[in-house]
Structure 1
């Protein structure tokens, strides 16, 4: 799932490449992508891009008339430049299986310089979504978003308001978009490892020192990752994210801090990773199916 560091890099590349460009053609291949049927994506043809920004995990492409194309990348969505796809799809450097077919483009936007931006979805169900609205807050996922730890204005008070005292597993709190915008499964694993906090304890049980560490890790991990992803081409963002992970996706590998074994555990409908020695006092967390 794309999270705020990669989505920020995507927004910055699109802003640099598309601002001032006119939309020449829109092709929606999968009708379920369009969430505003009364205002289809095709209604933006002829509009000129005013800028591209990020709201949590969503992209906001503003046009000069004041309308916004808001894109939720969902669980498996991303974007690519169509002209580069043929050259990169089977490139092992992108972190993908060289024998795997590239994810399908569910919508394509061609601009007046003949470049085409494709919106893709690699999942088994359509998680990609797009809205044409006058205000990004008309999109429910943006309207209910909490503060973003990447923002310079984000404060400890913002953090304490949604974390301290919560009777909910701390990993779930970190991924709750209404509380902290932009964090998903991967970066919550990284934040909790950096803070040396168990992912399954309730936030209400954290002492003052643990809350201090968790706040510093939340802000530090996300902002450092944004800095690290900045300037990397969008086609290389997935590989860059995977390579930077210290525990997420590293089950069976040695912990980079203590040398112990990084483990999987089941969290909701997915699998996450942690270091038992650094985070849970050696306790092994449940893994559905054993292990």
Structure 2
């Protein structure tokens, strides 16, 4: 799933290529992805892209005051096309293409644009056309952005205080902290040397300070690595920079212990026993019925 660093990089990529261009058309291919009807998608035609922003994991194109907002979900992605001239509209079907945004031709005659795609059969990619980004329910519920000046160690301490939720789940809760998903929560907790099952409300002041530093440092480093990377290569860059997530069975780059995996119904987490749990192996929920 694209998380804060990747979505911010996509926003930067589009700022360089789309801002100042006129929207020629927006073609919705996967109609289930479109979550709004007013304003209609057709209202974007003829308007100019004036800005691109990120809200948590939402990508927001400001088109003369209307906003084309996308949440890529788990398997979605944005693919830039330098020239869509001659590319015919696609009929709705079962393919990966969810939408195509065509921009007006430039001085060189090419008509660039981008496509929103989603792999797999579980279609969760969402598209909104709104007058205000806050009209998107997911954006309205977002917690503080961890890379904003307003996100301080005191703010984080307040968000964790009294919580009986495991810290792994809390970091993924977009209403608590915006933009962190499954991969970077693993990375943050590894950097903080903290068990993913630690109860948030039990963290000491020192723990909170270490977690805060790990959140900000991990996300900033990931964002710095992705600056200037073409949209099509961001997924590869993300994977190459991860130290524990998706690396079960490999050696921890810090201590050399074997990275372990805990699987749930539709996701999994990875951690280092030596760095994070005092050498203890966490129960794999797939096997929990045999461990009772």
- Give TM-score scaled by structure 1 length: 0.90
- Alignment partner of 1:61 is 2:53: no
> How far 1:39 sits from its partner (Å)?
2.5
Any residues of structure 2 matched to 1:4-15 within 5 Å, and which? Answer: 4-15=4-15
1:201 corresponds, among 198, 203, 209, to 198
Structure 2 match to 1:132: 129
CA distance in 1, matches of 2:233, 2:102: 21
> How far 1:269 sits from its partner (Å)?
2.8
CA distance in 1, matches of 2:15, 2:207: 38
Aligned length: 273
**Gap runs ≥5 in structure 1:** 86-102
Structure 1 match to 2:69: 70
- Alignment partner of 1:80 is 2:89: no
- Alignment partner of 1:271 is 2:278: no
Any residues of structure 2 matched to 1:231-270 within 5 Å, and which? Answer: 231-267=228-264, 269-270=266-267
Say if 1:164 and 1:211, in contact at 8 Å, map to a contact too.
no
Range 260-269 or range 194-203, more displaced: 260-269
CA distance in 1, matches of 2:161, 2:217: 18
**Gap runs ≥5 in structure 2:** 85-94, 106-110
Say if 1:22 and 1:47, in contact at 8 Å, map to a contact too.
yes
Say if 1:34 and 1:41, in contact at 8 Å, map to a contact too.
no
Moved over 3 A (4+): 82-85, 288-291
Q: Secondary structure at the match of 2:54?
A: strand
Range 126-135 or range 150-159, more displaced: 150-159
Q: Secondary structure at the match of 1:109?
A: strand
Q: Secondary structure at the match of 1:232?
A: coil
CA distance in 2, matches of 1:12, 1:153: 21
- Alignment partner of 1:104 is 2:101: no
> How far 1:125 sits from its partner (Å)?
1.6
Q: Secondary structure at the match of 1:36?
A: coil
Any residues of structure 2 matched to 1:32-51 within 5 Å, and which? Answer: 32-51=32-51
- Give TM-score scaled by structure 2 length: 0.89
Q: Secondary structure at the match of 1:124?
A: coil
Q: Secondary structure at the match of 2:129?
A: strand
RMSD: 1.7
> How far 1:84 sits from its partner (Å)?
8.6
| Residue deviations 1:89-121 (CA, integer Å, cap 9, x gap) | xxxxxxxxxxxxxx7211001101211210011
